[in-house]
């Protein structure tokens, strides 16, 4: 999940259901996971290491906000397990992001970063982070003017849109292949203003 995407807007109106959906850290993680796949509260609770009651509550909140849809039900030991997927994307575009309170921006960003660090840790532990010769890891210190900041932000937004297009093209190829070999990856884009006193290049 990224907190924002897209550089051009027809409207800067904020979807209040998204604001409420992303206002709680656990609900944010549940929403992100269900935007990537179908799962039940029980499956999510196991993966997150959280009590089932807490996860089920946040799933119901998301469902009530119109962010989820029920995909299927499965009988499990005398009960019925409900499987959901997201019908909204947990993203804000630039103009919507600009209208969010700073505290909410910090909270959402913190949740996204926590997921990124967990993904990186898991990949390092599994030995997959640097397994491929063409994996990418870079860090740069830049000094930009306002025009440079805007142009770089636009480039990153374009890259994110292209990544979504590449995923759609890959899905079509995988669906048409008798023996698909999917490569599951993580892409994290960051561009932010440095803390005061940070080193300059």
pLDDT tens-place string over residues 103-141: 889 988 998 898 899 899 999 999 999 999 999 999 999
User: How far is the C-alpha of 141 from the C-alpha of 199, rounded, in Å?
Assistant: 8
Q: What pLDDT score was predicted for residue 6?
A: 43
How many Å from the N-terminal Cα to the C-terminal Cα in the chain? 30
pLDDT of residue 84: 96
Q: How many CA atoms lie within 13 A of 156 on its CB side?
A: 17
User: In this structure, what are the phi and psi dihedrals at residue 85, rounded to the nearest 5 degrees?
Assistant: -145, 155
Cα 104 from Cα 78, distance rounded (Å)? 41
* Average pLDDT across the chain, whole number: 87
Q: Which helix (H) or strand (E) holds 175?
A: helix 146-175
Q: Would you list the domain boundaries of the chain? A: 1-131, 138-193+197-201
CATH class in words for 1-131 = mainly alpha
Q: Which residues pair with 69 in a beta bridge?
A: 85
**In the chain, % of residues over pLDDT 90:** 50
- Residue 66: left (phi > 0), alpha (psi -120 to 50), or beta? left
85 pLDDT above the threshold of 70 = yes
**Angle (deg, nearest 10), helices 41-48 and 52-64:** 130
Q: What is the DSSP string of 128-171?
A: -TT-STT-----------HHHHHHHHHHHHHHHHHHHHHHHHHH
Q: Is the pTM of this model over 0.85?
A: no
């Amino acid at each position: 999940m990224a907190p924002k995407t897209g550089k051009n807007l027809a409207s800067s109106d904020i979807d209040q259901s998204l604001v409420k959906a992303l206002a709680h850290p656990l609900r944010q993680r549940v929403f992100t996971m269900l935007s990537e796949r179908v799962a039940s509260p029980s499956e999510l609770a196991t993966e997150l290491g959280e009590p089932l009651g807490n996860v089920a509550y946040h799933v119901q909140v998301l469902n009530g906000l119109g962010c989820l849809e029920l995909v299927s039900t499965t009988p499990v030991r005398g009960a019925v397990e409900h499987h959901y997927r997201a019908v909204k994307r947990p993203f804000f575009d630039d103009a919507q992001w600009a209208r969010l309170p700073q505290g909410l921006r910090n909270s959402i960003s913190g949740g996204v970063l926590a997921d990124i660090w967990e993904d990186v840790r898991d990949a390092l532990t599994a030995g997959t982070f640097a397994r491929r010769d063409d994996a990418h890891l870079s860090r740069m210190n830049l000094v930009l003017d306002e025009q440079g900041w805007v142009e770089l932000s636009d480039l990153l937004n374009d890259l994110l849109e292209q990544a979504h297009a590449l995923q759609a093209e890959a899905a079509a190829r995988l669906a048409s292949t008798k023996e698909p070999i999917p490569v599951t990856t993580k892409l994290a884009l960051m561009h932010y203003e440095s803390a005061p006193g940070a080193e300059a290049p």
